[in-house]
Amino acid sequence: MGEQPMKLYLDSADIPAVAPLLHTGLFEGVTTNPLILQRAGVAPAHLPTLVQELIDAGAGSVFVQAVESDTDEIVAEGRRIVALGSNVIVKVPATRQGFAATARLAHDGVPVLVTAVYHVRQAILANSAGAWGIAPYVGRMDDAGRDGLRQVEQMGAVLHGSETRVLAASIRNADVVHELALQHCDAVTMSTAVAEALFIDHLTDRAVAEFTEAARALT
Ligand code: E4P
């Protein structure tokens, strides 16, 4: 886990939903996966356009997932993905083949986020492969009866001082975001709905309404 404040990413391929959030200047980049692309109706042929649109909208980095399952094919796909732009990071699932492909891609200087991470031992493997980071699935771990936040904490401890970041994913609500920040997680990616929820506090709204009323009364 890093000493820096936790970085925020958006987990979406929905440009109209993502662009206003990127325009706030608070989000580092955008993560995608095949399910997210399917939901947004983005065909593989349109990936280059999507990546460019996200960068134009203010994404500092865009994550695109490899879908091949054989090591050689994942490596070839990873090279195609990273060629989509200078700030594109390849996501590779935490399978045996995925780890082997990550090691080869990382050796060539390709940044790889090992994704669909559910256990500390996968964090160890990702670090050994030279991964840019890991994406543990907090919500899905909770769904499966594991303690997602505890797992992420342990992964952070294992990776402390290494080059491999923890980018927590599968976030179900805004409370999980602050719990991750409290345990000094490096980064988190969240849906646009969770991101929008971060901005909401009814006490702030009430205070602002009072300030506005007072300011009006003075004029
Ligand atoms: C991001 O990298 C993950 O693919 C994503 O957060 C998974 O989230 P889900 O459990 O909501 O599908």
Say if ligand 1 is within 6 A of residue 115 CB.
yes
- Which of 91, 130, 137, 176 is the catalytic position? 91
pLDDT, one tens digit per residue, over 22-70 is: 999 999 999 999 999 999 999 999 999 999 999 999 999 999 999 999 9
pTM of the complete model: 0.95
Domains of the chain, earliest start first: 7-218 (3.20.20.70)
Distance 35 CA to ligand 1 centre (A): 8
Alpha helices, H only, the chain: 15-23, 34-39, 47-56, 71-82, 96-107, 120-129, 138-143, 148-159, 174-182, 192-198, 202-218
